[in-house]
Chain A
C-alpha cells in the first residue's frame, strides 16, 4: 500500500513519476534463484548433487518407468496391462508410436537428470576439499553413467545385436547446458551404441574408484560395481561381470534379508539393497505402487500377473506365497509394491548372485567366488523356501531364477535380449525386433534437427 500512496503523490506530477516508478518494476522471483546464487560453494554443489538424485528418482526414470517399460516390453506370459492409460498399453502390446508419451517422458526426465549431473561435474572446482570433490564427482558420474546405460538399453538396439559401432545409440551430452539456451550445445545427433557404452563404462569406473564404501543411501563404490556388473553382463562380458558381482557379494557387507518379502515395502534400505531410490512421506513418487498395487494399497492394479508366471513358482515358494496375492475382485497382483512410501530397490544383492551365476556359466575358465552357479541359485531358493534347484545349473535355470526372483524389477526385456529369446505374448517377436525398441520421441525429432533421419526403424511413418 505504501507504494500506492507514494505513487498517488507522484501521480500529481506526471513528469516526476516517469523516473520514480521504474524502480518498482525491479521485482525478483521469490520461489526460485538465479544460476549465480545457485553455484557458490561446496555446500551448493552438494545441493546440486542431491538435486540430481531427486531428478533420478522421478517416476519417469528410476521411480518407475525405466523398470516398468522394460518389464512391459519383455513380458511373455508374465503380465497383462489392464489400465486405461494408452501409452503403457502400447508398450505392453508392442504397438508403440513415435508419439508414445511414456517414451518421451522417460527421455525428458533422463536427460534432465544428466544435465544436473553435468552441472555438478562442470563446477567441481568450487569444491575445495579433495575427498569431497572425489566423492561428489563419483556420485555424479554414477548417476550419469547409470542413466545413459538405461537410455541406451531402451532406445537403441542391444549391444550384442549386430555391430554396436554402427548401430545408433542415444545423443551424448557431457557438458551442462548454459542457462541462456545455446542451440550449438544441444542440437546433437545420436552417438553409436558403442560410444554410449564407452561413456557408461568410463563414468561407472570412475565412480567405482572415487566413491567411498559407505555413503548413507547415496551411491557407494559397491553400487558402482553392481551397476558395472550389469553393464558387463549386458555386453556379454561375462568374466568381467562375475568378477564385479563376486566383489560386491563377498566384500560389500550386504546380506540377504531373512524372508524374501522383507526385501520389499521397506521405508529404508535393507541389508540387501546395494542401491535404492529414496521415497519419503513428503517426497518422491513410487510409481510401482501406483500401477502394480491393488486399490486397497492405493494402486490402480493396472499390471496383473498372468497364470503362466504364477505357474512357474512352486506352491511353497515364498515369492508366490508372500509376494503374489489376489485383490477383492480376484485379480492376481504383485505384492512387491504395497507401500506407497517404500523405497525403490534398484540393485539388490540377490541380483548379484544371479549375475555371478550367469557369468560363471558363460565365461568359462575358473569359477569366480565360492559358489557354483547351482549354489548361487540355491541361496535364493532356500531363502524363498522353494524346492531345491538342480545340482548342476544350466543357463535356462539362471534365466528362470532371474524371472522368479527379479520379477517386476525391470529386467525382463534385457534378459530376453541376452538369451536372444522370442517373445510370444502379443507376438511372436524376435529378441531384436524393431517393436521392442522405444521410439525416439517425436517432440525430440521435431525440436532437434540433428536427429533428422535418426528415428528407430518402424517409427518413421509418423
Chain B
C-alpha cells in the first residue's frame, strides 16, 4: 500500500524520456501500480491505470529499468537506445517473495518470523465441496481436515497442529477480511452443521493459516487453535473484466462394503440358528424355541416369522444401495466482474450452486453475492466496503444414529423387500424402512447470511495510517422439519409432526488500529501496529414442536393440533481487546517481531476477566550474509524462532456461572440446580515455541520450510467429572496439561521450465498429542474414546479382542492382567498356542480394558503436481493420513456373528469359524447368543489412507481464437474429486467420524456414516 502511494519523480539535465506499457504475462491485461525504477537510482514512477508509464533517464550509459509489483516477478530490462520499453510481468514463482496476510496487515513472506501456511484461492476454485475448509484438505502443512461423512453442509473437523482442548473448542478462529465470523454449530440435532458453508469460496483470494504463536498471538484468547485469515478478491483499476464459469458434476460414493444377498443371508442365519440350537441341546436344554420363546420345536422359518414378521426368501433386496441417489452431483454457475478507475475499484460476484449429496434427500443450494468496493476519497483517505450475502438451503438428514437415516437401510434383511408387490413401501421390516421417511418427510435448513464490513483508512503522514473497520455478521437460520404420519413410529408423533426453529446471531465487531512503517538510514525497517477491537455477539433462538395434522397435506405448524414444545432462548457474549505488534528488520537480514493482545471476555469467570497474550520471534536471513553469497546453490536461507502465549476461550457463554434452571412438572413451573459455579474460570493457555528454516535452492527452483514446534497447553478447559451423588455431573475447570509437538515439512520444486512446466508441492506433518495431566480424571466420549493422562486425546479404551478359539469357535479376549489361580482352575483364563504367553478368556467381563487404538493420525500431508504445456494444464493432488484408527460402533450389529437379524458383511460370513481347527478371526455364528459381538478392539481398524484428492485437466483456448470471439480468456476443464482411495479399512470410506458422536474426544468412529463423495465435474470459464 505504501508503495503505491509514493509517487515521486525527479528530473535531471540531459535527460531523455522512456515510456512503455506493463502487462501481465498471464493474460495480457494491463498492470496498473507497477513500480518502475531506474536501476541504482531513486528515479522511478508507477504505471497508470492502463499500465503505461513514462520516465526520464539520463542519456547515454547503459540504464536499466526495474519493474516490481507485489506478487509478480521483479524484472530488470536494459533500455539500450530504445525509447519505448514494453514489459510483461509473470507471476512470482519465488514463493518467498509472496505477500502473506497477517493479523491487521500484510507482510512479505521472506520477512516472516512466524509460521503461516498460505493457500491461494485459485488452488481451491471450483472444488466440488460445500465449504472452503473441506477444500483445503492436504494443502496446508500441519492442518488436519476431516469431513465426518459424505453428508452436505455438515461440521468439518479442522485441527491446526493437533488438539489442545478437552472440553473447549479445538477449531481455529476464522477471520474474513478482518471480521471474526460466526462458526458455531447451530444444528437442532446432534449432527453439527457448518456455517462456513455459507461462504462462496470462489470469492476467496487467499487463505492464510496462522499456526505458531508469533503469528497468531495478536488474536489473543482465541488464537491457540490457529487462526484462518480469509481475504476475498479485490478489483484492479482498468477495463472491467467479466468472468462466467459453469460446472456440472456427477457424484457417487467413494467406497462401499459388500453385504449379504438374500440367499447368503438366509443360509447364514440358518447356520447361526442351528449352531445355537446345538449349544442349547448340548447344555441339556430342550431347543432354541423353548429357550428363547418358551415354545419348543420352533423351526428356523418360524423364528424368522416371529422376529421379522413378514419376509420373502426370494426378495434379495440390496438395501445398502437404496441409501444412495442416482442423480447426485452439482450444478454451479459463477459470474464475476471486476475493474475500476484509479480512484475506485470493485469486485462483484454471484454464485448459484445446487449440489445433491450421494445420500437420498441430501441437497445443498447456495446463492451468494458479493461486492467489494474501494474508493480513494482524497489523497489521504480511502474508504471501502466488503459486502456479501448468501442464502443456503440445505435438505438435511437425521443423524447417523437414527433408524431413519439412509445408511441404516443397510441393516435391513435382504429377505424383506423394500416395496411390496403393489409398489407401496414395505412398512413391516425388521427396523424402520427409511425409504418411508424419504417419501413422507422433509428437513430443510435455510440460512441467510450477511458478512459485511465498511472501513476507512487515513494516511495521517506517509508513514502512519489509521484504519477503522466496522463489521456485521448477521446469520439467520431456519430449520423446518415435517414428518408425515407414516414416520410416527420413529418420531413419536401421533398423525405426523413438525418442528420449526429460528436462530439469529448478530455478531458485530469493530477494529481500530494504527500502522506505522518507517525505514531509517536504509537499514532499520520498522513496522508498528497498535489497535483495539471489540466484538459483541447475541444469539436468539425460538422453536416450536407440534404434532397431529389433519392429513399429510398440511405441513406447517398452523395446522397441527398439539403443540408439544415451544421455547425461546437468548444468550450473548462480548470480547474487548487491545493489541500491538512491532516488526523490526535490520540490514535486511536480522528480524525481530514482538506482539501481544490484552483480551477480555464475558465468557471468563468474574475473577479472571482479562488476560495478556504476548509473543516474540526472531529471524536471520543467512543468505544475505557475505559468507553465503558465494554459495550460488543457496538462493535463500532463513532461520527463525518464536515463542508466545495464546489462549482458547470457552465455547459456551457462561460455563463458570452457578445456575439454577427452570423445568415443568404437570403444568407447574419448577426450579432446580443446573450448573456448578467456577468464578475463576478462564481461557486455556497455550505456550508454543517454534523453530524453523525457510530455504530456496538453485535460484529458488527448490523452496521449502521445515518447522519443529512444541505446544504446551495448561489450564485446560475441562468439563470435569464430579461424583453424580452431588446432584451434578460436571464442573467447568481449568485443569491439566496437554502437549502437541511435531514437525512440518514443505517443499516446492519447479521441476521443468520452458514450454512444458512442471511444479511439485509437498507438505508433510507429524503431530504427537499427549495429555500430560488431567487431574487423574477420565473423560469419556464417542463409544469407547477417552481423555486420560499419558495418552493422546480420544484413544480407544476397550477390551482387547484376541480372536477365535480354533477348538470351539468361541470369541476370545486377552485377559490383560495376571489371572488368579481360581480363574485358571475354572477355565476362565487359559493359554492357547495361537496367542503365545498371553492369557485369554471367553468371559468378556473377566478381562481388563486397555488402550487399544488411537484415532489421531501420526502423519498427514499432501503432494500436488501442476503441469502445463501450451494451452493445457494438469494438476493432481494426493492427500494422505496415516496411523489413525477407526472404531466401528456399528460392528456390534453388522459384524455381530449373526447374533441378531441385522444384515452382515459378506467377508464375515465367508470367514466364520465352522469346525474345530478353523483358524479365523470371525467367531462361530450363534443366533441370539452373543459370541464376540461386544465392544472390543475387534471393531478397531487402521484407517490410514492415500487419496487422489483432486485432479484437474484444463485447456485454455489460444489468444487468436478467443480474440476472434471477443473474449479475453476461455477455459474448459474436467476435474475429479476423491477419484482413488487406497486404504486397508474394510467398511466404507476411511475418512469418517459419525456425526452424532463427534467431539473433541469422540474421534475416529464409524456408525452407519455415509462414505465420502467421489465427484467428476466438467466446466467452462469464459472471460470478456
Q: Which of A191-220 contact B (CB under 8 A)?
A: 217
Best-surrounded residue of A86, A114, A281 (most CB of chain B within 10 A): A281
Tell whether, in the assembled complex, residue B677 and residue A179 are in contact, meaning their CB atoms are under 8 Å apart: yes
Q: Contacts A8-B512, A462-B847; is A31 near B570 (CB within 8 Å)? A: yes
The stretch of A105-113, A241-249, A257-265 that contacts the partner chain: A105-113
Q: Which of A396-434 contact B (CB under 8 A)?
A: none
Our pick among B653, B679, B777, B799 for the contact of A447 (Cβ within 8 Å) is B777
B295: chain A residues at CB < 8 Å are: 307
Interface size class of A (residues with CB under 8 A): 35 or more
Tell whether, in the assembled complex, residue B659 and residue A34 are in contact, meaning their CB atoms are under 8 Å apart: yes
Q: Contacts A4-B510, A14-B578; is A329 near B675 (CB within 8 Å)? A: no
**CB of A48 within 8 Å of the partner chain:** yes
Tell whether, in the assembled complex, residue A7 and residue B661 are in contact, meaning their CB atoms are under 8 Å apart: no
Complex CA–CA separation, A24 to B935 (angstroms): 50
B310: chain A residues at CB < 8 Å are: 329
**CB of B398 within 8 Å of the partner chain:** no
Q: Which of A80-138 contact B (CB under 8 A)?
A: 80, 82, 84, 86, 95, 97, 104, 107-108, 111-112, 114-116, 118-119
Tell whether, in the assembled complex, residue B671 and residue A48 are in contact, meaning their CB atoms are under 8 Å apart: yes
Tell whether, in the assembled complex, residue B677 and residue A180 are in contact, meaning their CB atoms are under 8 Å apart: yes
- A1-45 near B? 1/0 per residue, CB < 8 Å: 101100110011010011001101111111111110110000010
Q: Contacts A7-B534, A29-B571, A444-B724; is A35 near B660 (CB within 8 Å)? A: yes
Our pick among B309, B512, B728 for the contact of A331 (Cβ within 8 Å) is B309
**CB of B748 within 8 Å of the partner chain:** no
Our pick among A8, A24, A119, A461 for the contact of B536 (Cβ within 8 Å) is A24
Tell whether, in the assembled complex, residue B724 and residue A112 are in contact, meaning their CB atoms are under 8 Å apart: yes
B799: chain A residues at CB < 8 Å are: 462
Tell whether, in the assembled complex, residue B536 and residue A34 are in contact, meaning their CB atoms are under 8 Å apart: no
Tell whether, in the assembled complex, residue B893 and residue A22 are in contact, meaning their CB atoms are under 8 Å apart: no
Q: Which of A30-65 contact B (CB under 8 A)?
A: 30-35, 37-38, 44, 47-55, 57
Task: Please give the distance in Å from B710's CB to the nearest CB on chain A.
Answer: 30
Q: Contacts A54-B672, A107-B724; is A283 near B665 (CB within 8 Å)? A: yes
Complex CA–CA separation, A52 to B665 (angstroms): 9
Tell whether, in the assembled complex, residue A24 and residue B724 are in contact, meaning their CB atoms are under 8 Å apart: no
Our pick among A26, A84, A290, A447 for the contact of B722 (Cβ within 8 Å) is A447
**CB of B383 within 8 Å of the partner chain:** no
A21: chain B residues at CB < 8 Å are: 534, 576, 600
Task: Please give the distance in Å from A112's CB to the nearest CB on chain B.
Answer: 5
- B651-677 near A? 1/0 per residue, CB < 8 Å: 001100111111111111111111111
A48: chain B residues at CB < 8 Å are: 670-672
Q: Contacts A11-B512, A54-B664, A306-B293; is A33 near B659 (CB within 8 Å)? A: yes
Tell whether, in the assembled complex, residue A280 and residue B667 are in contact, meaning their CB atoms are under 8 Å apart: yes
Our pick among A31, A111, A295 for the contact of B725 (Cβ within 8 Å) is A111
Complex CA–CA separation, A316 to B534 (angstroms): 76
Tell whether, in the assembled complex, residue B534 and residue A181 are in contact, meaning their CB atoms are under 8 Å apart: no
Tell whether, in the assembled complex, residue A181 and residue B676 are in contact, meaning their CB atoms are under 8 Å apart: yes
Tell whether, in the assembled complex, residue A25 and residue B574 are in contact, meaning their CB atoms are under 8 Å apart: yes
**CB of B778 within 8 Å of the partner chain:** yes
Task: Please give the distance in Å from B475's CB to the nearest CB on chain A.
Answer: 16
Tell whether, in the assembled complex, residue A329 and residue B428 are in contact, meaning their CB atoms are under 8 Å apart: yes
Tell whether, in the assembled complex, residue B671 and residue A47 are in contact, meaning their CB atoms are under 8 Å apart: yes
**CB of B494 within 8 Å of the partner chain:** yes
Specify the chain B residue showing the minimal Cβ separation from A450: B723
- A380-406 near B? 1/0 per residue, CB < 8 Å: 000000000000000000000000000
Q: Contacts A24-B536, A47-B670; is A7 near B571 (CB within 8 Å)? A: no
Task: Please give the distance in Å from B384's CB to the nearest CB on chain A.
Answer: 16
Task: Please give the distance in Å from B729's CB to the nearest CB on chain A.
Answer: 6
Q: Contacts A17-B532, A22-B576, A298-B494; is A446 near B721 (CB within 8 Å)? A: yes
B983: chain A residues at CB < 8 Å are: none
Task: Please give the distance in Å from A154's CB to the nearest CB on chain B.
Answer: 15
Tell whether, in the assembled complex, residue A308 and residue B309 are in contact, meaning their CB atoms are under 8 Å apart: no
**CB of B488 within 8 Å of the partner chain:** yes
Complex CA–CA separation, A288 to B722 (angstroms): 30
Task: Please give the distance in Å from A252's CB to the nearest CB on chain B.
Answer: 21
Task: Please give the distance in Å from A246's CB to the nearest CB on chain B.
Answer: 30
A181: chain B residues at CB < 8 Å are: 676-678, 722, 726, 728, 731
The stretch of A158-166, A170-178, A231-239, A345-353 that contacts the partner chain: A170-178
The stretch of A182-190, A317-325, A359-367 that contacts the partner chain: A182-190
Our pick among A112, A180, A448 for the contact of B658 (Cβ within 8 Å) is A180
Tell whether, in the assembled complex, residue A280 and residue B847 are in contact, meaning their CB atoms are under 8 Å apart: no
B726: chain A residues at CB < 8 Å are: 111, 115, 173, 177, 181, 185-186
**CB of B848 within 8 Å of the partner chain:** yes
B663: chain A residues at CB < 8 Å are: 50-51, 54-55, 283
Complex CA–CA separation, A283 to B664 (angstroms): 7
A84: chain B residues at CB < 8 Å are: 431, 893
Complex CA–CA separation, A176 to B728 (angstroms): 11
Complex CA–CA separation, A370 to B50 (angstroms): 111
B248: chain A residues at CB < 8 Å are: none
Q: Which of A440-462 contact B (CB under 8 A)?
A: 441, 443-444, 446-448, 451, 458-459, 461-462
Complex CA–CA separation, A446 to B308 (angstroms): 41
Tell whether, in the assembled complex, residue A27 and residue B574 are in contact, meaning their CB atoms are under 8 Å apart: yes
Q: Which of B266-307 contact A (CB under 8 A)?
A: 292-295, 305-307
**CB of B530 within 8 Å of the partner chain:** yes
Specify the chain B residue showing the minimal Cβ separation from A17: B532
B677: chain A residues at CB < 8 Å are: 35, 179-181
**CB of B331 within 8 Å of the partner chain:** no
**CB of A251 within 8 Å of the partner chain:** no
A278: chain B residues at CB < 8 Å are: 665-666
Tell whether, in the assembled complex, residue B724 and residue A27 are in contact, meaning their CB atoms are under 8 Å apart: no
Tell whether, in the assembled complex, residue A330 and residue B847 are in contact, meaning their CB atoms are under 8 Å apart: no
B530: chain A residues at CB < 8 Å are: 14
Complex CA–CA separation, A450 to B756 (angstroms): 74
Tell whether, in the assembled complex, residue A179 and residue B724 are in contact, meaning their CB atoms are under 8 Å apart: no
Complex CA–CA separation, A273 to B731 (angstroms): 39
Tell whether, in the assembled complex, residue A24 and residue B576 are in contact, meaning their CB atoms are under 8 Å apart: yes
A95: chain B residues at CB < 8 Å are: 844-845, 930
Task: Please give the distance in Å from A100's CB to the nearest CB on chain B.
Answer: 11
**CB of B562 within 8 Å of the partner chain:** yes
Q: Contacts A27-B573, A32-B659; is A4 near B470 (CB within 8 Å)? A: yes
Our pick among B305, B494, B657, B848 for the contact of A340 (Cβ within 8 Å) is B494
Tell whether, in the assembled complex, residue A55 and residue B672 are in contact, meaning their CB atoms are under 8 Å apart: yes
A25: chain B residues at CB < 8 Å are: 574, 576, 600-602, 609
Complex CA–CA separation, A462 to B674 (angstroms): 31
**CB of B572 within 8 Å of the partner chain:** yes
Complex CA–CA separation, A54 to B530 (angstroms): 54
A179: chain B residues at CB < 8 Å are: 658, 673, 676-677
Our pick among B491, B564, B658 for the contact of A34 (Cβ within 8 Å) is B658
Best-surrounded residue of B309, B470, B726, B892 (most CB of chain A within 10 A): B726
> Given A8-B510, A37-B660, A48-B672, 14 more contacts at CB 8 Å?
A32-B674, A44-B671, A49-B670, A54-B670, A82-B307, A115-B726, A116-B672, A179-B676, A179-B677, A284-B665, A298-B489, A306-B294, A340-B492, A462-B848
Q: Which 10 pairs from chain A and chain B are nearest by CB? A: A115-B727, A329-B309, A295-B489, A50-B670, A11-B512, A51-B670, A51-B672, A38-B660, A179-B658, A448-B723
Write 19 A-B pairs (CB below 8 A) sorted by A numbering.
A4-B510, A8-B510, A31-B569, A32-B659, A32-B660, A47-B670, A54-B672, A55-B663, A77-B294, A80-B293, A97-B844, A115-B728, A116-B672, A176-B673, A180-B679, A280-B666, A282-B667, A298-B493, A307-B294
A→B interface (CB under 8 Å): 1, 3-4, 7-8, 11-12, 14, 17-18, 21-22, 24-35, 37-38, 44, 47-55, 57, 77, 80, 82, 84, 86, 95, 97, 104, 107-108, 111-112, 114-116, 118-119, 171, 173, 176-177, 179-181, 185-188, 217, 278, 280-284, 290, 295-296, 298-300, 306-308, 311, 328-331, 340, 441, 443-444, 446-448, 451, 458-459, 461-462
